[in-house]
Structure 1
Amino acid sequence: MAVEAFDPTQSTVSVTPAAIEHFRRQLDQKPDAQAVRLSVKESGCTGFMYVVDLVDQAKDSDLRHPLAEGLDLFIDRDSLKVVTGTEIDFVTEGVNRQLKFLNPNAQDHCGCGESFSVN
């Protein structure tokens, strides 16, 4: 496996402390998973949706982004042009808790919030 390491001089994705703690809790519940993987896929009415997976290892083309001690985020290289500059946060709004993706590349979002488009 040839996972490329994250270059801190290149701004790809940032992750808030709240999202890091959320990822840690999720990984604690899935002992066979070692990291979080971020990608996008074509979906929904506006074009793309985020895919966050708990994985045991990276794919060959993933970029490795260390988040904290013992916690890595793997970013799908094919998704980089869509996710570069995105901040991932974990927010509580009323009784709802969810990951939020603050993506400067997103131009439009569908009404239900599942998908987005980019230029």
Structure 2
Amino acid sequence: MLTIDNPVYVRPAARQQILDTLLANKIPADYGLRVGVRGGGCGASWLLGLDLPGPSDEVYNVEGVQVIIDRKHLLYVLGAEIGYESGGYTVDKPPSVP
């Protein structure tokens, strides 16, 4: 279930891959998965990466993964599903509900 406490959903394969990456690379526990959007000429693209939270960020514990979202991006990423396939991470955003 999606709530403001869990603004995004992390699928099990993505969760495991994130936790394995953090452990294998000995990344400090302060780091988390940054989820956001990046503006572009014809639209926006997804921003995913491991990062430290900053002063304008909200930090959530989603399925055991620390998720970092800049407050300015929250509305755009709300409801996104983070997945993982053999080619890398995926992000799916359900259609907007009127």
The answer on 1:88 being equivalent to 2:82 is yes
TM-score, with length taken from structure 2: 0.76
1:49 aligned residue: 45
Q: Structure 1 stretches of 5 or more lacking a match?
A: 1-7, 107-119
**Structure 1 residue 16: deviation in Å?**
0.7
**Whole-Å separation in 1 of the counterparts to 2:16 and 2:3:** 24
User: Where does structure 1 differ by over 6 angstroms across 4 or more consecutive aligned residues?
Assistant: none
Query: Aligned with 1:66: secondary structure?
Result: strand
**Whole-Å separation in 2 of the counterparts to 1:31 and 1:19:** 18
1:28-64, Cα deviation, whole Å (9 max, x unpaired): 2432442111111112x53111111212x31112111
TM-score, with length taken from structure 1: 0.64
**Cα RMSD after superposing both structures:** 2.3
**Whole-Å separation in 2 of the counterparts to 1:46 and 1:22:** 31
**Whole-Å separation in 1 of the counterparts to 2:8 and 2:54:** 18
| Bigger relative CO (Cα 8 Å, ≥ 6 apart) | 2
Query: Aligned with 2:75: secondary structure?
Result: helix
The counterpart of 2:54, out of the listed 51, 55, 59, is 59
More helix by share: 2
The answer on 1:25 being equivalent to 2:20 is yes
Query: Aligned with 1:36: secondary structure?
Result: strand
Higher CA-based Rg? 1
**Structure 1 residue 13: deviation in Å?**
0.7
Query: Aligned with 1:80: secondary structure?
Result: helix
* Number of residue pairs aligned between Structure 1 and Structure 2: 92
More strand by share: 1
Identical-pair percentage: 24
Query: Aligned with 1:79: secondary structure?
Result: helix
**Whole-Å separation in 2 of the counterparts to 1:39 and 1:104:** 15
